Amino acid sequence: MADLKASFEAAVANSKNLSERPDNGTLLKIYALYKQATAGDNAEKKPGFADMVGRAKWDAWNGFKGTSSDDAMQQYIDLIESLS
């Protein structure tokens, strides 16, 4: 467990130093996996129609509902490693 958390924190640090900026879909997946790993299932109110960025983030995070924190951390680590 401690190894997973340490690897996750390293991946979070590495995500800020990627050689090139990922496309928007990948950025949303990175965001959603981070939120699922750190905060769990999305319990926030869905943003209004005018807030397109907020809605996209909310939808991406909500797509991982039911994923355990450990699974989300591992998926995040794997995704960041694939982009490095």
Residues 3-16 have pLDDT tens digits of 999 999 999 999 99
The CATH number covering residue 64 comes to: 1.20.80.10
* Cα–Cα distance, 36 to 43 (Å, whole number): 11
Report pLDDT digits (tens) over 20-72: 999 999 999 999 999 999 999 999 999 999 999 999 999 999 999 999 999 99
Number of domains making up the chain? 1
- What's the whole-model pTM score? 0.92
With beta carbons less than 8 A apart as the criterion, state whether 79 and 33 touch: yes
Structural domain range at position 69: 2-83
Burial class of residue 8 in the structure, from the number of CB atoms within 10 Å of its CB (0-12 exposed, 13-18 middle, 19+ buried):
buried
